Amino acid sequence: MLNLAPSTVSRALNDSYEISQATKDRVQELAKSLHYQPNPFARSLRAQKSKTIAVIIPERINNYFSQVIEGIESITQEFGYHLLVYSTHENLDTEKKIISYLVNGRADAIVMSVSSQTREIDHLENVFQNKVPIIFFDRICREIPTTKFITNDYQSGYNATMHLIEKGCKKIFFLLLSRDISIGKERLRGYIDAVKDSGLAFSESWVVQCSQDEARNLALIKHFLYGMDRPDGILASVEKLAISTYQAAKEMRLNMPKDFKMISFSNMKIAGLLNPPLSTISQPAFQVGAECAKLLMQKLTKPKQPPLEDRVIEIPSKMELRESSGD
């Protein structure tokens, strides 16, 4: 429309020094009046980058993961990056499929928390070999040499258990989703060490392996709460299991903290409004997301950046004691 070559227009829009101010003005004015927006695919194709970050989480309806995404976005948004969000629904096959979408440049980087089913890691190796920067958080994969963010899972598990013991618990059950995922393992270790350090008669049956099926979890919990050897303390390694326990206690008309005490890893804002208020170990979710994003923005927006360091960064959780644990 202005009788200019595409190259000139491009340079004018990008404010190149080799275009006269007069031409720049003409071009930019017309662009504005036409609501011109450059085509992102042409750009991505040419530049070999997408200004997009993929976030992969195991489930969406979860306060922790929502907060992490908020944290990520708080940083990426300043840089004009877009967020592609995927949920694996804790399913390994879905995770593999999602990953396969992302190794071809659709995203410039990946931020993820692996599913509880993830045992093999070929697909993750593949990402790494394809030079797509990847950062893990919470449920990390130690084998891939990249940066990972976790909280002090061992210590938190230890402290939470010790707290229950101090409150008089002699038989403390540990509820987990899967023994395979990183956080499960570490929290479990902390729990076991605390139990043993206190000289309690630990038994393997104290560790209760739950599943993705909420109805089954509820039945399982009710079952052991009915039994003869029922616990007087429970440490839930994920929020979901704490909720099922509340449900079970309610249906069975058991009283917390009288009949048993509980503390849980959880990022619920309303933990204090439950009946009874739930003692929690809450993770710095927003901060974790923000730190992941900062690292990625540094790597992606600055020239000549080294690959992401192979290290584990720990950001401590906060224990908030309420009535459910007898406080």
Partner DNA sequence: CGAAATCTCGAAAACGTTTGCATGCTTTTC
Partner DNA sequence: GAAAAGCATGCAAACGTTTTCGAGATTTCG
- List interacting residues with DNA (CB under 7 A): 3-11, 13-14, 18-23, 36, 38-39, 42-43, 45-48, 104
The entry of its own copies, DNA, none that residue 100 binds, CB within 5 to 8 Å by partner kind: its own copies
Shortest spacing between CB 100 and DNA, in angstroms: 14
CA angle 65, 68, 69 (to 5 degrees): 90
Nearer to its own copies, 110 or 243 (CB): 243
The entry of its own copies, DNA, none that residue 84 binds, CB within 5 to 8 Å by partner kind: its own copies
Look up residue 302 and give its two tokens: 């600055």
Sign of the alpha-carbon torsion through 184, 238, 316, 276: negative
Shortest spacing between CB 281 and its own copies, in angstroms: 18
The entry of its own copies, DNA, none that residue 276 binds, CB within 5 to 8 Å by partner kind: its own copies
Three-state DSSP state, 133: coil
* Angstrom distance (rounded) from CA 230 to CA 289: 38
Nearer to its own copies, 157 or 277 (CB): 277
Shortest spacing between CB 263 and its own copies, in angstroms: 16
User: What residues contact 258, with CB distance under 8 A and at least 6 apart?
Assistant: none
The entry of its own copies, DNA, none that residue 3 binds, CB within 5 to 8 Å by partner kind: DNA
The entry of its own copies, DNA, none that residue 86 binds, CB within 5 to 8 Å by partner kind: its own copies
Nearer to DNA, 37 or 143 (CB): 37
> Which residues contact its own copies (rule: CB under 8 A)?
35, 37-42, 44-45, 50, 52, 60-63, 66-67, 69-70, 73, 82-87, 100-101, 103-106, 126, 130, 243, 246-247, 250, 269-270, 272-277
The entry of its own copies, DNA, none that residue 272 binds, CB within 5 to 8 Å by partner kind: its own copies
CA dihedral 113, 119, 122, 123 (to 10 degrees): -40
Shortest spacing between CB 170 and its own copies, in angstroms: 26
User: What residues contact 147, with CB distance under 8 A and at least 6 apart?
Assistant: 135, 136, 295, 308, 309, 310, 311, 312, 313
Shortest spacing between CB 189 and its own copies, in angstroms: 29
Separation in Å, CA 67 to CA 29, 131, 164, 269, 291:
40, 28, 28, 11, 13
**Would you call 201 exposed, middle or buried from its count of C-beta atoms within 10 A (0-12, 13-18, 19+)?**
exposed
